[in-house]
């Protein structure tokens, strides 16, 4: 089957051919005809199977007839992250270049003025993150009453980020008589409930078992230790034929530290995480796509839907906290029918998380031992002071072991770490040792005068609860599965996003 068999217009077929595609993927074969017939649709497919084109192509054909009005977009696409929204916008520009359709991108981190001007002119396609969309709606800058087509993309990611209440609020503001498309890699119960509420007699298209990994990706677990993770990663990068690679970590602080470490060792590495400003994130992503850097260290902000051609390897520096995130992370490689490799660094503490991943994917992942490798030619061996700052030991693990002349020292040469057991100091003992001093009986405590004791007893006692407390250590927000998650159990009210409007 080719794209001409799906009923697309000649202008679209020309754009698809210009993009270098000749045969539709399974999700595109099943979804596009149903969308062209104005049916509601639920599309379930693993990452990297072409879900974006499955709704972008028929939408362009549907919207090619009609006219946009000011402040009233004709269609709406909801995306969980700014990167995904920008990526969908690129797809519309690529496939709609032979048709005169207007588009606006509403995401956070950029000027709101340009977005408002685009809405005032009228747009056929509005691509937005829930947070920025709700913000502009509350300011009266946008009307949703003329939107006849809604796409909810990466719905399971929306659930993880707490956007479901926002999506429900947005759906209630749209016309009841509309076409709704919902795409997701998995179908948890809350997403099923959302679909039952807002979709009318939808056709369900499922081209792979939910939460299954791409069979074109070669997966492996690499045994290491917490202190040796960085060295193991460098050995893997040298042992493998790495053209381009994405390295995922659970925390934003680890992303920064790991990027600096790789640069010190001669690797062309960049970074992307939630603490970076949006222009900076887009700039790093463009450098990676252009080949200025071939290694991108990222938090889970880049784990879902990010489509970069030619990524040969994915490395999980940290085992993801949620099994679903493993499927999405490794899905950054092996896209569009290509093959790829995914390596996960595993410590003994990760056994339970790996068992959950294998249970979810019904796959027994290959186990590997240590990996041999030499330092890169361009890498400079760290100076003693630089090594003291630590490339191997994570933050908080470098503690001095020398106390009173005893302990273990470390001699470093390049990347090698040699443990040295120091001999205890010898103390000279005189031939005639003095006799031990006789302990004197402790003096009796001085008794206060009776009047003072009486005043102390009459003074009201303070309960334990009334005493001033020390400042409790609070959770710090780090990169979790939602690129802003808590470092501990997620409270129930945050699990469903109550009280939040989301970050666009």
pLDDT tens per residue, range 399-446: 433 344 444 444 333 343 333 333 344 334 344 444 444 444 455 555
Residue 240, helix vs strand vs coil: coil
138 and 115 both lie in a single domain: yes
Residue 436: inside a domain: no
Residue 457: inside a domain: no
Q: What is the pLDDT of residue 148?
A: 94
- Does this model's pTM top 0.75? My answer is no
245 and 373 both lie in a single domain: yes
| CATH code at position 289 | 3.40.50.300
182 and 328 both lie in a single domain: no
Residue 124: inside a domain: yes
240 and 354 both lie in a single domain: yes
195 and 255 both lie in a single domain: no
246 and 161 both lie in a single domain: no
Tens digits of residue pLDDT in 302-311: 766 577 878 9
199 and 221 both lie in a single domain: no
Q: What is the DSSP letter of 405?
A: T
Percent of the chain scoring above 90 in pLDDT: 47
Q: Among residues 181, 206, 231, which one ends one of the domains?
A: 206
Sheet of 75-78: strand order equals 103-106, 125-128, 75-78, 149-152, 179-184, 41-44, 203-206
How many domains in the chain? 2
Residue 472: inside a domain: no
Residue 201 to residues 170, 179, 487, Cα–Cα distance (Å): 20, 11, 40
Range(s) of the domain holding residue 22:
3-206
Q: How far is CA 214 from the centre of its chain?
A: 19
Residue 105: inside a domain: yes
Residue 478: inside a domain: no
Q: Among residues 186, 206, 226, which one ends one of the domains?
A: 206
Tens digits of residue pLDDT in 66-125: 888 888 999 999 999 888 898 899 999 999 999 989 999 999 878 888 899 989 989 999
Residue 15: inside a domain: yes
Q: What is the pLDDT of residue 211?
A: 59
- Look-up: residue for tokens 């001033």? 468
Least confident of 45-59, 90-104, 213-227, 302-316: 302-316
Whole-number average pLDDT of the chain: 77
Residue 504: inside a domain: no
190 and 335 both lie in a single domain: no
Task: Over range 171-181, report the average pLDDT.
Answer: 95
Q: Among residues 329, 362, 385, which one ends one of the domains?
A: 385
193 and 242 both lie in a single domain: no
145 and 275 both lie in a single domain: no
201 and 230 both lie in a single domain: no
170 and 291 both lie in a single domain: no
């Amino acid at each position: 089957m080719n794209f001409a068999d799906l009923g697309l217009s000649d202008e679209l077929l020309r754009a698809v051919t210009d993009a270098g595609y000749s045969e539709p993927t399974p999700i595109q074969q099943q979804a596009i005809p149903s969308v062209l017939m104005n049916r509601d649709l639920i599309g379930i497919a693993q990452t990297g199977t072409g879900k974006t084109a499955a709704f972008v192509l028929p939408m362009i054909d549907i919207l090619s007839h009609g006219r946009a009005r000011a402040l009233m977009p004709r269609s709406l696409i909801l995306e969980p992250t700014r990167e995904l929204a920008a990526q969908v916008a690129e797809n519309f520009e690529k496939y709609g270049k032979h048709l005169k359709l207007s588009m606006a991108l509403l995401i956070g981190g950029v000027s709101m003025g340009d977005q408002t001007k685009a809405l005032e002119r009228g747009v056929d396609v509005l691509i937005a993150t829930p947070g920025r969309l709700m913000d502009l709606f509350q300011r009266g800058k946008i009307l949703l009453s003329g939107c006849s087509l809604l796409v909810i993309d990466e719905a399971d990611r929306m659930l993880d980020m707490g956007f479901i209440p926002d999506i429900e609020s947005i759906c209630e503001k749209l016309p009841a008589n509309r076409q709704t498309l919902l795409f997701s890699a998995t179908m948890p119960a809350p997403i099923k409930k959302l679909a039952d509420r807002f979709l009318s007699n939808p056709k369900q298209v499922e081209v792979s078992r939910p939460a299954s990994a791409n069979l074109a990706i070669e997966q492996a677990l690499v045994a290491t230790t917490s202190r040796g993770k960085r060295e193991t990663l460098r050995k893997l990068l040298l042992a493998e034929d790495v053209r381009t690679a994405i390295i995922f970590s659970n925390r934003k602080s680890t992303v920064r530290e790991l990027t600096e470490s790789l640069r010190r060792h001669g690797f062309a590495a960049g970074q992307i995480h939630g603490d970076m400003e949006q222009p900076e994130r887009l700039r790093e992503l463009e450098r990676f796509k252009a080949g200025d850097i071939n290694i991108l260290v990222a938090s889970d902000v880049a784990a879902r839907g990010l489509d970069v051609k030619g990524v040969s390897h994915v490395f999980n520096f940290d085992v993801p906290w949620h099994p679903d995130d493993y499927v999405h992370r490794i899905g950054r490689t092996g896209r569009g029918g290509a093959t790829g490799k995914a390596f996960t660094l595993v410590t003994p503490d990760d056994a339970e998380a790996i068992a959950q991943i294998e249970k979810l994917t019904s796959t027994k992942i290959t186990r590997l031992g240590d990996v041999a490798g030499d330092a890169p030619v361009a890498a400079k061996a760290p100076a003693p002071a630089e090594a003291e700052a630590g490339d191997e030991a994570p933050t908080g693990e470098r503690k001095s072991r020398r106390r009173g002349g005893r302990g273990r020292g470390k001699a470093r040469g390049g990347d090698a770490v040699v443990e040295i057991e120091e001999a205890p100091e010898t103390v000279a003992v005189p031939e005639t040792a003095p006799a031990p001093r006789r302990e004197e009986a402790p003096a009796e405590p001085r008794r206060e005068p009776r009047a003072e004791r009486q005043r102390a007893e009459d003074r009201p006692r303070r309960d334990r609860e009334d005493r001033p407390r020390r400042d409790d250590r609070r959770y710090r927000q780090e990169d979790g599965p939602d690129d802003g998650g808590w470092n501990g159990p997620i409270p129930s009210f945050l699990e469903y996003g109550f009280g939040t409007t989301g970050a666009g």
